[in-house]
Amino acid sequence: MGNHIHLLIKEEKEALEIIMRRIGASYVYWYNLKYNRYGHLFQDRYKSEVVEDESYFLTVLRYIHQNPVKAGIVADAANYNWSSYNEYVGKRAIVDTDFALRIYSSDREKALESFKRFHWISSDDLCLDVSENKRLTDKMVVEIIKQKCRVNHCSEIQSVEKDQRDRYLKFLKEEGLSTRQDARLTGISRGIVLKA
């Protein structure tokens, strides 16, 4: 966990890209100032997935809270300083805990009991798990695109029907291709690659 963070963000007025850009820029500015350094701090673009229902929301929340325990950093989620877990069970500061707790019950005490019980359930949930994958070279990516998308040249994906193109792009993301690499090799704009 020394190389990544997990955020569960409700997208309302601003797009996730803008929110993450602001968080990233603010943190990099602070970090560079504090440690008297310059330049980039993050290796890759953030990874995200949509949480579409309450059940999965609670699963993701538990996954985030159990992550330091599974990583062997602490024995109990309550002992991890950088987690929102204690805001749910204790003093609230910056996290909107009401949304999650109301899923359990409108009675706050009952909701807290259910919340704690659910978080103590051991699970093997993998919610956009971060792995230490080796970066794919352009040559490797070109071969993946040609093989999986059944094209002779990567740029041919541009002329494929929109729905099929988006299925290809989504598949390529799942294969581990970065958005930049995907956009550069296919000639499709980053915005389209991101939305696929």
Q: What is the pLDDT of residue 157?
A: 92
Q: What residues contact residue 72 under an 8 Å CB cut-off, 6+ apart? A: none
- The pLDDT-based confidence of 86 (bands split at 50, 70, 90) is very high
Task: Please tell me the predicted confidence (pLDDT) of residue 121.
Answer: 84
Task: Name the residue among 44, 17, 47, 42 with its Cα closest to residue 29.
Answer: 42
What is the token pair recorded at 136? 């794919």
Using the predicted structure, report yes or no on whether residue 42 has a pLDDT greater than 90: no
Alpha helices in 121-195 (DSSP H): 138-149, 162-174, 179-186, 190-195
pLDDT of the residue at 132: 47
Residues 140-181 pLDDT 10s: 888 888 988 889 999 999 999 999 999 999 888 887 778 888
Q: Which residues contact residue 6 at a Cβ distance below 8 angstroms, ignoring those fewer than 6 apart? A: 63, 64, 67
For the beta carbon of residue 66, count every other beta carbon within 10 angstroms: 20
Q: 2 versus 137: which is more confidently predicted?
A: 137
CB 87 within 8 A of CB 97: yes
Q: Which two tokens stand for residue 37?
A: 């350094």
> How far is Cα 39 from Cα 65, in angstroms, rounded to an integer?
31
Q: Which residue would you say has higher pLDDT here, 43 or 84?
A: 84
Which tens digit of pLDDT belongs to each residue from 106-142?
999 999 999 999 988 877 777 765 454 556 788 888 8
Token couple for 130: 């971060």
pTM to 2 decimal places:
0.60
**Nearest-CA neighbor of 181 among 144, 149, 151, 133?**
144
